């Protein structure tokens, strides 16, 4: 912590300052910065428990928002909010009794976590629908009734009356034609889960599973809750296998993926953080041989961390674990400023203030270029990247500001010039140097040819699924559970909207009529839509009108069965089922999420919206034919989130490629006032490094996508930095040492990031490592004649 470090102990100002005005101003700034830092640190400490609960681990939170489509946003948010707190467990043992026991023990193991079980209560829809039965007709019965003769209708009713048994919950007289039974049966096709003996059971592949479905409490994404949940589930799973080694135990839920992601992030933060810190301290200690240098580095890094965390927690409701992992890899970048100062300090006899004044422009530029590169991350609509940008810019600014504000007071009077600097100088002297000779041009030509070969193989891939793959075992379990429970895909759906709830339901019914043949043709497994459980008023009235056709057959039945006069099942049509009644009833509990109700459309006008989800959607072609289907229907739109995000990624990849090219073109002009015609010596190594990195990616088969381009921007920023340091006029050997150190630490941090299990971070780490390594190796090639000072 910065507070524990005695600020007065270092006596850097052992020389009378030649610039009292600047010193006073600097002292004031340093004081203000110290107060701000301490304030931010106190806030973080006080807010620690709360802050830890705000760490987001849900990978979906990293997906972009589409600001141009507020209604779609509302729809997706509502679905996500409903989906993210659901947990489904499937247990199965060798026989029914044991399955029940496993289910009961699992239930007991999860008790006390605040989960709400969605039991068999909603599984008896017949009582709810009974009063409305006159308006409810299955599609098959609707067709049948439209053409049935009175004889056929009477015969149908008599056959049911004479049957051994009718598997319906209603007595024969209330449903003589079996229409209500058929309608309930058509509802049953929506889910394979059936209540039996107090458990919800599912049959699949000859096994019978007990399904336990839960809604998690609000705290579902706190790491505390997740750990308890995982522990309870692990216990229940172990118990199930103890009872029957062949038992199946499947768990599916967003929270489980989040927990796995959190564990992974924690592991990676430890790996990258520890690796970077150990590397940093080892290298700094080795080169500068000073404990005070290590303490100073610590001050700079802690400041960076405090500022980055403070700003991120202040600006964002939740901080994503991926941001933190990425943030840890910034250690290698943040440490650069301290290294630059130390290097200037080595063996220098100049008064510190003088040194500082001379160093400030370089330090300023060293902050500006990477900061601009990181800010490019925030240009994208991806919340995750935006957060990374804020974290990175604030982090390196914090580290930089502490170096600028505190170091003059804390630096030791002098650092002994390291013996290893000479090695660097010798190495640099041997380094290949570009000359305008035929041999060099030939070499360059060969390199260009090899690079072209790689570039030709470079391909792009904007598939979002490649970036956020979860834990493989967990995914497999999730898929299996989804298949057994026939859960719909949450990423693809039909979005419907209309002026009134009634029109909305009618549009939905039209859509479902087009989907039914697809189900029959097994192109899709099934669908979930509100109108299945809540027919439109028009459809209910149509059903009643069709039943009018049964008058004659009713009379015939009356005679046949010696029924009292005026007997008719259709005597009173009963009430119509309305959305209000349905939504208020427990039967709609599992499907209410499909009904978005009143929303504002993209122009802010009030609309009513709903979504229809599909089960067992296979292949990309299916998606395309569904998109075509939606285009031909009123008020229906096909939403393929995975595809849309991927196309958004492609759009931004193109935008950022242009930005990158522009930046490459702008750099020479920006640097021209400082370096004059030497600018090409700065630009050349960075450009060549960029081209070679792309070529390597081409050869390795790593596709080009948004994150690589972003990584390129970052690598460009850093590469230009090294070139600037080295091309700067003074203290060659020391600057070389500083650059070497800075580059190796950056390489270490990003190199470790390349080991991340999150493909997004892996891509970032790999590209930056390649780009930085190449530009660092190439920079000396384009140096002017050496002018050593050591």
Partner 1 sequence: MTSSTKSLFAVLALCLALPSYANDLIAEVRARLAPRPVTQGEFQQTRELARIKKPLVSNGRFLVVRDAGVIWENLAPIVQTMRITKNEILQTGGGAALMRLSSDKEPVVGIISSILFGALAGDFEMLAQSFTCDGKVEGDKWRLVFKPRDATLARLIEALSLAGGRDIEQVEIRSAAGDAARIVFKAQTHADEVSAEIRKRFE
- Which residues lie near partner 1 (CB under 8 A)? 96, 120, 123-124, 126, 155-156, 158-159, 161-174, 178, 185, 188-189, 192, 194-198, 201-203, 561-563
Q: How far is the CB of 164 from partner 1 (least distance, A)?
A: 5
Most distant CA atoms of the chain, gap in Å: 121
Q: How far is the CB of 173 from partner 1 (least distance, A)?
A: 5
CB 296 within 8 A of CB 399: no
Q: How far is the CB of 102 from partner 1 (least distance, A)?
A: 18
Q: How far is the CB of 178 from partner 1 (least distance, A)?
A: 8
Cβ proximity to partner 1: between 130 and 699 the closer is 130
Nearest to 752 by CA among 730, 728, 768, 731: 768
Q: How far is the CB of 610 from partner 1 (least distance, A)?
A: 26
Q: How far is the CB of 693 from partner 1 (least distance, A)?
A: 55
Handedness of CA 85, 59, 211, 592 (dihedral sign): positive
Rounded distance, CA 613 to CA 636, Å? 13
Cβ proximity to partner 1: between 169 and 219 the closer is 169
Cβ proximity to partner 1: between 562 and 785 the closer is 562
Residue 604 half-sphere exposure toward CB, CA atoms < 13 A: 0
Alpha helices by DSSP H, listed for 561-615, are: 579-584
Rounded distance, CA 736 to CA 759, Å? 34
Q: How far is the CB of 202 from partner 1 (least distance, A)?
A: 7
CB 608 within 8 A of CB 602: no
Alpha helices by DSSP H, listed for 486-576, are: 501-520, 530-533, 537-547, 551-560
Cβ proximity to partner 1: between 119 and 453 the closer is 119
Measured from the Cβ of residue 52, the count of other Cβ atoms closer than 10 Å reads 12
Q: How far is the CB of 166 from partner 1 (least distance, A)?
A: 7
Cβ proximity to partner 1: between 148 and 495 the closer is 148
CB 460 within 8 A of CB 704: yes
Cβ proximity to partner 1: between 20 and 119 the closer is 119
> What is the four-CA torsion angle of 402, 405, 406, 411, rounded to 10 degrees?
110
Going by C-beta distance under 8 Å and a sequence separation of 6 or more, which residues neighbour residue 594? Answer: 528, 529, 530, 610, 611, 612, 613
Alpha helices by DSSP H, listed for 376-419, are: 383-410
Rounded distance, CA 178 to CA 167, Å? 10
Q: How far is the CB of 193 from partner 1 (least distance, A)?
A: 8
CB 376 within 8 A of CB 656: yes
Q: How far is the CB of 212 from partner 1 (least distance, A)?
A: 16
Cβ proximity to partner 1: between 126 and 480 the closer is 126
CB 539 within 8 A of CB 509: yes
Question: What pairing do the DSSP bridges indicate for beta strands 55-56 and 319-320?
Answer: parallel
CB 640 within 8 A of CB 489: no
């Amino acid at each position: 912590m910065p507070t524990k470090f005695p600020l007065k102990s270092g006596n850097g100002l052992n020389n009378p300052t030649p610039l009292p005005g600047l010193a006073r101003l600097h002292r004031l700034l340093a004081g203000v910065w110290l107060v701000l830092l301490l304030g931010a640190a106190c806030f973080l400490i006080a807010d620690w428990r709360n802050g830890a609960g705000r760490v987001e681990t849900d990978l979906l939170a990293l997906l972009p928002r589409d600001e141009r489509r507020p209604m779609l946003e509302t729809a997706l948010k509502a679905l996500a909010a409903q989906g993210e707190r659901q947990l489904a467990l499937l247990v199965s043992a060798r026989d029914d009794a044991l399955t029940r026991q496993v289910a009961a023990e699992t239930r007991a193991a999860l008790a006390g976590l605040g989960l709400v079980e969605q039991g068999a209560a909603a599984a008896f829809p017949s009582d709810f629908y009974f009063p409305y039965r006159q308006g409810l007709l299955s599609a098959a019965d609707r067709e049948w009734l439209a053409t049935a003769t009175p004889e056929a209708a009477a015969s149908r009713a008599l056959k049911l009356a004479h049957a051994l048994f009718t598997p319906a919950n209603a007595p024969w007289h209330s449903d003589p034609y079996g229409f209500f039974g058929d309608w309930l049966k058509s509802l049953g096709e929506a889910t394979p889960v059936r209540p039996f003996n107090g458990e919800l059971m599912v049959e699949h592949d000859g096994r019978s599973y007990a399904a336990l479905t839960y809604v998690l409490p609000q705290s579902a994404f706190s790491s505390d809750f997740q750990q308890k949940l995982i522990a309870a589930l692990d216990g229940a799973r172990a118990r199930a296998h103890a009872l029957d080694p062949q038992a199946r135990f499947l768990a599916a839920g967003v929270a489980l993926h989040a927990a796995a992601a959190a564990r992974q992030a924690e592991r990676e933060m430890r790996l990258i953080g520890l690796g970077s810190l150990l590397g940093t301290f080892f290298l700094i200690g080795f080169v500068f041989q000073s404990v005070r240098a290590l303490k100073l580095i610590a001050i700079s890094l802690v400041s960076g961390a405090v500022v980055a965390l403070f700003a991120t927690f202040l600006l964002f409701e939740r901080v994503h674990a991926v941001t933190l992992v990425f943030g840890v890899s910034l250690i290698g970048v943040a440490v650069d400023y301290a290294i630059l100062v130390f290097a200037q300090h080595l063996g220098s006899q100049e008064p510190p203030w003088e040194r500082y004044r001379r160093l400030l422009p370089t330090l300023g530029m060293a902050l500006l270029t990477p900061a601009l590169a990181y800010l490019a991350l925030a240009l994208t609509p991806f919340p995750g990247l935006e957060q990374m940008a804020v974290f990175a810019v604030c982090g390196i600014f914090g580290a930089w500001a502490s170096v600028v504000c505190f170091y003059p007071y804390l630096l030791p009077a002098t650092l002994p010039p390291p013996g290893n600097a000479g090695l660097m100088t010798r190495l640099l002297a041997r380094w290949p140097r570009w000359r305008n000779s035929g041999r060099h041009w030939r070499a360059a030509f060969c390199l260009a040819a090899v690079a072209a070969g790689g570039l030709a193989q470079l391909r792009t891939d904007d598939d979002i699924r490649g970036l956020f793959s979860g834990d493989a075992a967990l995914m497999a379990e999730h898929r299996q559970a989804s298949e057994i429970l026939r859960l719909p895909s949450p990423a693809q759906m039909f979005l419907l909207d209309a002026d009134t709830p009634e029109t909305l339901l009618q549009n939905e019914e039209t859509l479902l009529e087009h989907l039914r043949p697809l189900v029959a043709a097994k192109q899709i497994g099934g669908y979930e839509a509100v109108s299945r459980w809540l027919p439109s008023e028009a459809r209910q009235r149509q059903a009643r009108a069709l039943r009018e056709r049964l008058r004659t057959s009713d009379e015939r039945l009356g005679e046949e069965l010696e029924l009292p006069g005026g007997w008719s099942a259709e005597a009173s049509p009963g009430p119509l089922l309305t959305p209000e009644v349905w939504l208020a009833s427990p039967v709609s509990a599992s499907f209410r999420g499909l009904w978005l109700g009143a929303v504002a459309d993209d122009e802010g006008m009030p609309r009513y919206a709903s979504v229809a989800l599909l089960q067992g959607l296979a292949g990309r072609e299916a998606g395309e034919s569904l998109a075509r289907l939606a285009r031909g229907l009123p008020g229906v739109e096909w939403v393929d989130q995975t595809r849309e995000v991927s196309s958004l990624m492609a759009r931004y990849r193109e935008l950022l490629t242009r930005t990158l090219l522009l930046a490459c073109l702008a750099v020479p002009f920006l640097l021209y006032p400082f370096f004059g015609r030497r600018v090409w010596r700065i630009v050349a190594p960075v450009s060549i490094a960029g081209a070679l990195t792309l070529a390597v990616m081409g050869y390795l088969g790593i596709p080009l996508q948004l994150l690589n381009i972003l990584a390129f921007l970052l690598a460009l920023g850093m590469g230009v930095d090294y070139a600037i340091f080295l091309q700067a006029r003074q203290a060659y050997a020391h600057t070389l040492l500083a650059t070497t150190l800075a580059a190796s630490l950056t390489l270490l941090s990003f190199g470790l990031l390349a080991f991340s299990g999150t493909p997004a971070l892996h891509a970032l780490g790999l590209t930056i490592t390649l780009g930085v390594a190449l530009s660092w190796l190439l920079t000396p090639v384009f140096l002017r004649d050496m002018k050593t000072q050591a």
